[in-house]
A and B are shown apart, each in its own frame.
Chain A
C-alpha cells in the first residue's frame, strides 16, 4: 500500500524535478514555462484520475475516490486550459495550426484530440443528471471519452521534445497507461451497457 503511493509520488515528483532542471528553461518566457509545467501537471493528474474512479488508490475507497475524482477532473481541465492558453500566448501561429489540425507535428493532433475528449468526458460528468442516461450507458460513454484522453495524452507527451526527461516521462506514461488499463479491467464499463441502451431507447 505504501509502495503504491511511493511509486506514484516518486514518479510524479521526479518528473517535476527533472522538468524544473531542464536546460531549455532559460531560453523560455515565464508564460511558456508555466504552459509547459501545466502540461506535466495534467499528465500527473491523468495518472491518478482512473485509480480514484475505481477506488484503487490505497486510502481512498470507491466513495471517497469518486468525490476526489470530480475535483481532480476539474483540476485537469484547468491545467489543460493553462497549457493551451499559455502556448497560444507564446506562439499564436503554432497554436492556431495545432487547433486546426494543420501543424507539421503529429503530437499536436494527438494533444488536440485528447483535449476535446477531455471536454466531452467533463461535459458528460457535468450534465449527468440532465442527460438522464442509464448508469451503464453513461459509464461506458464517460470511460470511452476518458480512454481517448489517456491514449491521446500519452502519445502527445512521448512524441514531444520538451522539458520533461525521457526516463521520467516514459515511466509516467507507462504508469498512466497501466492505471487506465487496471481501472477499465476492474470496472468493466461495457457490462450492461447494451441492455441499458436498449431500455433507454424503449423509454
Chain B
C-alpha cells in the first residue's frame, strides 16, 4: 500500500482553509480582477434630495465628513466627482433642504465637507452620502458613527462606470 504524500489531516486543513478563504470573499472572482465596486447600503437613499448645491460647508459646521472616490477595477482615484451629503444634525432634520450639501473630490480622489454635528435619529447616529451624477453607477451610502460623540465620519466610494 502506497503512503499518501500528504497526510490526511493536513489535506483537510488545507481544504478547509481554501473553503474559508473563498467562502468569506477573501479570494473572490471579482477581487481577482481588481477593486470591486461599492454597493448601495440599506436605507442609504432615505430622505435624499436630488441636486444638492456644492457648498463650502453645510450650516455652521463643526463636524467633518470625508472620504475617497476610486474607480472600480484599477482603483484609480477620481477627481471632480460630486458627492452629496446629508444627515440629521443639530441644525436640521434629514429631509430639510438646509441639511443637504455637495462637494467635489480633489486630484487624489479625496473629499471633505464640514457640516453641523450629527445627532442620532431613528436609533442610530448616521450620515448619508450619494454619488448620483450619471457617469458611474449611482451609489447611496449610510455610514454609522461608532459613538454619537464623534465629530467626524468617513465613507469611501468605488464607482463602476455606467
When the two chains form their complex, are residues B42 and A91 in contact, meaning their CB atoms are under 8 A apart? Answer: no
Contact with B along A90-116 (1 / 0, CB 8 A): 010110010000111101100000000
Q: Is B70 an interface residue (CB 8 A)?
A: no
Count contacts on B: residues with CB < 8 A to the other chain.
22
Contact (A91, B119) CB under 8 Å given A103-B43, A104-B43: no
Q: Is B103 an interface residue (CB 8 A)?
A: no
Cα distance A22–B139 in the bound complex, in angstroms: 34
Cα distance A102–B40 in the bound complex, in angstroms: 13
When the two chains form their complex, are residues A94 and B95 in contact, meaning their CB atoms are under 8 A apart? Answer: no
Q: Is B151 an interface residue (CB 8 A)?
A: no
What is the interface of chain B mostly: helix, strand, loop, or mixed? Answer: loop
Binds A, one of B15-23, B59-67, B85-93, B152-160: B85-93
When the two chains form their complex, are residues B148 and A161 in contact, meaning their CB atoms are under 8 A apart? Answer: yes
Q: Which A residues lie within 8 Å of B47 (CB)? A: 91, 93-94
Q: Which B residues lie within 8 Å of A123 (CB)? A: none
Give, as a whole number of angstroms, the nearest-CB distance from B62 to chain A.
14
Q: Is B28 an interface residue (CB 8 A)?
A: no
What is the interface of chain A mostly: helix, strand, loop, or mixed? Answer: loop
- Category for how many chain A residues contact B: 10 to 19
Nearest CB to that of A97 among chain B residues?
Answer: B43
Cα distance A108–B43 in the bound complex, in angstroms: 12
When the two chains form their complex, are residues B90 and A105 in contact, meaning their CB atoms are under 8 A apart? Answer: no
Nearest CB to that of A27 among chain B residues?
Answer: B119
Contact with A along B112-138 (1 / 0, CB 8 A): 000000011111110000000000000
Q: Is A29 an interface residue (CB 8 A)?
A: yes
Interface positions of B (Cβ within 8 A of A): 41-47, 88-90, 93-95, 119-125, 142, 148
> Can you name 4 extra interface pairs (CB under 8 A) apart from A91-B46, A105-B123, A161-B120?
A91-B122, A93-B45, A97-B42, A104-B43
Interface positions of A (Cβ within 8 A of B): 24, 27, 29, 87, 91, 93-94, 97, 102-105, 107-108, 159-162
